[in-house]
């Protein structure tokens, strides 16, 4: 039997507001446990929530970016359940009336086509605290720094048909929320978390199969692995005559499997009801319009602009607009280096810079080389001070110890030799020392041209301008 996979994703995007969604406590990551939890986050008797307008603004921003309807009136509900790291015994969320309704995201498939994934809804809610089971022997520690951090839960329609599509959707969403500046996108720190609803059905069948919800898949790689594992597991069950049960499963990245957390029967009755401490959230058309005006350029538009404005290929524009930070870095560099150097800048970023960042597992935000330094390097290539090869060498030095490339060129003596007489002198010496090869070349062994180039470059310690070397050599050898 041929099976079709059906995947829907629920993504929790941590909004990067300065303070929490219902209190004034700070949201910075990594503080000492319980140092960023105020009376409201602790759920002390008598405290009340006050909605952070910035979180609303960010949710609206997201909604506008994916062509959603922004609800003029949305409602905060209480989701009731007991857990030690849930201070109030309920989570404030939006259940019946979310702030963002509908929407769509176009994803790029491996075969070069695009596919539209519909977004069901996105709603605002508060995060819970963290239980630290390992920190204290025989006890559980509670850290409430995360309690009350604003989340936007984005729910997709079950429209993805394989793990690769799910990953493409997540990457697109990830880039988008970073573009919008509403999330730092840091997956290790849990700023962008994903739960996957996975089911399979016989190809051609309309009715969905029974789904399992996989929790805790917090990297693109794990999403792919977890979904593939789950699909195989479900198909094996069905093909051996069993039935898949509706349940929540936890992905274990170390074992690369999923295991059951709780079945539908064990699921909590959350007893949702509108939070009487918060008035319904009413958003005016003017509020939405203002955010629309402030919306940054979105990835698709930026990609198109990069191709025309900077004369880049589709491939180059893709890489240079992958994140807003990369695009900003590129544009800032070109601004200093000059518009006519847009290609050279692209080459350096896609080549040397990308490779170095990858090697050291760094994001562009943490790039040791700044835009002024990179722009100077671009200019030194453009003004022929450096050949492409020398630029690579200078870049290596800059990466080790970021500084003005001119200083490196000076100190390391890496300036390209462009003085024709100096190059001629080197070439003459090389020819004089290689009479045998000269004779062979002149006898028709054309491939020896490369040998001479190599010898000249070697003699110049790589500094001779390769174009000039080629030109002069051709004259002298013939």
Interface positions with another protein (CB under 8 A) = 39, 42-51, 78, 80, 82, 84, 87-90, 142, 269, 271-273, 276-279
Could you tell me the smallest distance in angstroms from the CB atom of residue 62 to another protein?
Answer: 23
When the beta carbons of 33 and 368 are compared against another protein, the nearer one is 33
Residue in this structure with the two tokens 């720094």, named with its chain if needed:
145
The three state secondary structure string of 180-195 is CCCCCCCCCCCCEEEE
Could you tell me the smallest distance in angstroms from the CB atom of residue 248 to another protein?
Answer: 17
When the beta carbons of 281 and 473 are compared against another protein, the nearer one is 281
Could you tell me the smallest distance in angstroms from the CB atom of residue 275 to another protein?
Answer: 8
The Cα 41–Cα 146 span in angstroms is: 9
Could you tell me the smallest distance in angstroms from the CB atom of residue 87 to another protein?
Answer: 6
For the chain, what is the largest distance between any 2 Cα atoms, rounded to a whole number of angstroms? Answer: 98
The Cα 25–Cα 17 span in angstroms is: 11
Could you tell me the smallest distance in angstroms from the CB atom of residue 123 to another protein?
Answer: 18
Taking a C-beta distance cutoff of 8 angstroms, is the pair 158, 197 a contact? yes
Q: Which two tokens stand for residue 31?
A: 């503080």
Could you tell me the smallest distance in angstroms from the CB atom of residue 72 to another protein?
Answer: 18
Pairing of strands 77-80, 100-101: unpaired
Q: Which of 386, 388, 389, 459 is nearest to 424 (CA)?
A: 459
Residue in this structure with the two tokens 């190809």, named with its chain if needed:
203
> CB-side exposure of 344: number of CA atoms within 13 Å?
25
When the beta carbons of 43 and 368 are compared against another protein, the nearer one is 43
When the beta carbons of 92 and 160 are compared against another protein, the nearer one is 92
When the beta carbons of 91 and 342 are compared against another protein, the nearer one is 91
When the beta carbons of 279 and 314 are compared against another protein, the nearer one is 279
The Cα 412–Cα 386 span in angstroms is: 13
Helix (H) or strand (E) holding 345: helix 342-348
In this structure, the number of other CB atoms found within 10 A of the CB of residue 405 comes to 26
Q: Which two tokens stand for residue 454?
A: 């190599």
When the beta carbons of 85 and 157 are compared against another protein, the nearer one is 85
Could you tell me the smallest distance in angstroms from the CB atom of residue 112 to another protein?
Answer: 46
When the beta carbons of 144 and 198 are compared against another protein, the nearer one is 144
- Angle (nearest 5°) at CA 13 between 298 and 133: 155
When the beta carbons of 46 and 413 are compared against another protein, the nearer one is 46
The Cα 179–Cα 182 span in angstroms is: 8
When the beta carbons of 38 and 307 are compared against another protein, the nearer one is 38
Could you tell me the smallest distance in angstroms from the CB atom of residue 153 to another protein?
Answer: 20
Angle at which helices 324-337 and 371-382 pack, to 10 degrees?
50
Taking a C-beta distance cutoff of 8 angstroms, is the pair 9, 171 a contact? no
Could you tell me the smallest distance in angstroms from the CB atom of residue 77 to another protein?
Answer: 10
Could you tell me the smallest distance in angstroms from the CB atom of residue 26 to another protein?
Answer: 18
The Cα 105–Cα 161 span in angstroms is: 15
Which residues have a Cβ under 8 Å from the Cβ of 334 and sit 6 or more positions away? 310, 341, 342, 345, 375
Could you tell me the smallest distance in angstroms from the CB atom of residue 51 to another protein?
Answer: 7
When the beta carbons of 43 and 402 are compared against another protein, the nearer one is 43
- Segments of 60-113 assigned E as strands: 69-70, 73-74, 77-80, 90-93, 100-101, 104-108
């Amino acid at each position: 039997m041929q099976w079709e996979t059906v995947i829907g994703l629920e993504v929790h995007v941590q909004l990067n507001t300065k303070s929490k969604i219902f209190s004034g406590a700070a949201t910075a990551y990594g503080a000492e446990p319980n140092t960023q939890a105020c009376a409201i986050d602790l759920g002390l008797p008598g405290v009340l929530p006050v909605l952070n307008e910035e979180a609303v603004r960010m949710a609206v921003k997201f909604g506008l970016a994916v062509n959603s309807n922004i609800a003029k009136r949305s409602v905060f509900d209480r989701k009731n359940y007991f857990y030690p790291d849930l201070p109030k015994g309920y989570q404030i969320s939006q259940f019946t009336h979310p702030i963002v309704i509908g929407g769509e995201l176009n994803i790029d498939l491996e075969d070069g086509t695009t596919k539209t994934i519909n977004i069901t809804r996105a709603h605002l809610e508060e995060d819970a605290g963290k239980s630290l089971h390992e920190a204290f022997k025989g006890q559980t520690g509670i850290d409430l720094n995360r309690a009350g951090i604003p989340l936007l839960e984005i729910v997709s329609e079950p429209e993805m048909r394989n793990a690769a599509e799910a990953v493409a959707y997540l990457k697109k969403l990830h880039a988008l929320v970073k573009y919008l500046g509403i999330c730092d996108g840091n997956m290790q720190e849990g700023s962008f978390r994903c739960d996957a609803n996975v089911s399979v059905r016989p190809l051609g069948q309309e009715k969905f199969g029974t789904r399992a919800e996989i929790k805790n898949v917090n990297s693109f790689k794990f999403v792919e692995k977890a979904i593939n594992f789950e699909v195989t597991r479900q198909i094996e069950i069905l093909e051996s005559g069993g039935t898949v049960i509706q349940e929540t499963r936890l992905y274990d990245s170390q074992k690369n499997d999923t295991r059951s957390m709780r079945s539908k029967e064990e699921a909590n009755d959350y007893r949702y009801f509108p939070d009487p401490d918060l008035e319904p959230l009413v958003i005016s058309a003017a509020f939405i319009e203002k955010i629309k005006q402030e919306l940054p350029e979105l990835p698709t538009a930026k990609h198109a602009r990069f191709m025309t404005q900077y004369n880049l290929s589709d491939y180059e524009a893709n890489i240079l607009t992958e994140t807003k930070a990369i695009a900003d870095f590129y544009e800032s560099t070109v601004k200093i280096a000059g518009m006519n150097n847009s290609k050279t800048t692209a080459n350096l970023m896609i080549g040397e810079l990308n490779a170095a960042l990858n090697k050291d597992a760094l994001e562009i935000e943490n790039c040791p080389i700044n835009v002024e330094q990179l722009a100077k390097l671009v200019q030194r290539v453009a003004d022929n001070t450096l050949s492409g090869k020398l630029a690579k060498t200078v870049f290596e030095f800059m990466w080790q110890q970021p500084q003005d490339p001119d200083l490196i060129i000076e100190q390391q003596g890496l300036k390209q030799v462009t003085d024709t007489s100096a190059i001629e002198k080197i070439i003459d010496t090389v020819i004089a020392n290689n009479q045998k090869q000269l004779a062979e070349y002149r006898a028709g062994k054309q491939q020896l041209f490369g040998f001479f180039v190599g010898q000249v470059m070697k003699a110049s310690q790589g500094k001779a301008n390769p174009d000039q070397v080629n030109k002069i050599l051709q004259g002298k050898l013939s």
